């Protein structure tokens, strides 16, 4: 079976004036469909850069990224924008919800770009909120929700357009232990029960233990892929 994600010879160099910073060096990685990969490493190791490249938010200096059979490194910005809308769900450390919109409206944001009817959009939003167990908070604004609940709304937003890949940048980095456990349970369920492929950047070894695979990045170099003992 072909992997969902295939990365070959990936490098990313940032140039600031005369300074040249190589953040990723010849990264090669393959992730099977239905895998839950934890990407670990110290600060500045290039985890988030790699995640941004996988999610199509940034373009590499060299190398090739193929997701679901589509080489995204050759896509134009416009094509990449459309690709993200169809194939990737993003979950951020600080939730990044729109503060003036209710939870339901926040979840609906990706669906505005589709041709779905209002009724169908609302149905999908209800399903996504049900999945994250927040149906009773649909009309609440982000400020009226706890951190854990806000992250659940962000997860529902990431899920609502039914992408095959979820990229999560330290999704539990801003949460207390109880909320962290609950979010990790949810991600595990999405991976295990709903077959979503998840790539999660984390500093937290406990969070990484919930993944099916772990991989370490250090100074832009990728370590060995380790299958979780659990």
Partner 1 sequence: MKYLPLIWAGLWRKPARTILTLLSVSVAFLLFGTLHGVIAGFDTGIEMLSDTRLRVQSRAGILTGLPLAHLPDIESVDGVAGLGYFAIFPSYFQVPLNPIAAGAVEMDRFFQGFPDVAISEEHQQAMKSNRMGAIIGEDLAIEHAWEIGDRVTLTSGFWAKEDGTRDWSFEIVGTYRFKGAGLPSNEFWFHYEYLDEARSRAKGTVHLYFVTIDDPLLAGRISADIDRLFINATYPTITENEKDWLRSRLDQIGNIEFFVNAIIGAVLFTLLFLTGNTMMQSVRERTPELAVLKTYGYSDVMIILLVLAEALILCVIAALLGLGMASLAFPSIFAGLGVGPIPLTLSVIVDGFAIAILLAVLSTVPPAWRAQRLNIVDALAGK
Integer Cα distance of 219 and 32 in angstroms:
25
Instruction: Indicate the residue among 41 and 55 with the shorter CB distance to partner 1.
Output: 55
Residue 75 binds partner 1 (CB under 8 A):
no
> Angle CA(62)–CA(68)–CA(70) in degrees, nearest 5?
50
Q: Is 90 in the site for partner 1 (CB under 8 A)?
A: yes
Instruction: Output 116 or 127, the one with its CB closest to partner 1.
Output: 116
Indicate which single residue of 110, 142, 148, 220 sits in contact with partner 1 (rule: CB under 8 A).
110
Say if CB 228 and CB 52 are below 8 A apart. no
Distance CA 225, CA 66 (A): 19
Of the ranges 105-113, 128-136, 185-193, 195-203, which one interacts with partner 1 (CB under 8 A)? 105-113
Nearer to partner 1, 119 or 229 (CB): 119
Q: Which of 47, 137, 152, 157 binds partner 1 (CB under 8 A)?
A: 157
Residue 39's H or E segment, with its range, is strand 36-40
**Near partner 1 by CB under 8 A: residue from 1, 15, 18, 118:** 118
Nearest to 124 by CA among 148, 156, 101, 98: 156
What strands, in cross-sheet order, belong to the sheet with 19-31? 19-31, 5-16, 62-67, 70-71
Quick check: 152 binds partner 1 (CB under 8 A)?
A: no
Contact between 57 and partner 1 per CB under 8 A: yes
137 touching partner 1, by CB under 8 A: no
Q: Which of 8, 13, 64, 105: binder of partner 1 (CB under 8 A)?
A: 105
Pinpoint the alpha helices (H) of 101-176. Answer: 103-108, 118-131, 147-159
Alpha-carbon gap, residue 8 to 184, rounded angstroms: 29
Binding residues (CB under 8 A) for partner 1: these are 52, 55, 57-58, 78, 81-82, 84-86, 90, 92, 96, 98-101, 105, 108-110, 112-113, 118, 121, 157
């Amino acid at each position: 079976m072909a992997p969902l994600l295939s990365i070959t010879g990936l490098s990313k160099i940032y140039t600031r004036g005369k300074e040249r910073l190589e953040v990723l060096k010849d990264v090669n990685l393959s992730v099977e469909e239905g895998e839950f990969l934890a990407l670990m490493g110290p600060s500045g190791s290039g985890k988030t850069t790699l995640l941004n490249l996988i999610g199509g938010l940034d373009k590499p200096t060299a190398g090739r990224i193929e997701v679901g059979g589509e080489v995204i490194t050759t896509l134009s910005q416009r094509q990449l924008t459309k690709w993200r809308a169809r194939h990737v769900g993003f979950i951020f450390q600080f939730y990044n919800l729109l503060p003036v919109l209710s939870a339901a409206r926040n979840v609906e944001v990706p669906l505005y770009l589709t041709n779905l009817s209002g009724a169908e959009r609302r149905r999908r939003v209800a399903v996504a909120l049900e999945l994250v167990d927040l149906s009773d908070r649909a009309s609440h604004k982000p400020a009226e929700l706890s951190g854990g609940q806000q992250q659940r709304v962000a997860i529902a937003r990431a899920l609502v357009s039914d992408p095959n890949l979820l990229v999560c940048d330290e999704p539990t980095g801003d949460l207390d232990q109880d909320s962290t456990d609950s979010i990790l349970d949810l991600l595990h369920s999405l991976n295990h029960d709903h077959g979503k492929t998840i790539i999660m950047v984390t500093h937290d070894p406990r969070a990484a233990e919930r993944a099916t695979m772990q991989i370490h990045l250090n100074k832009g170099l990728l370590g060995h892929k380790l299958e979780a003992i659990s």
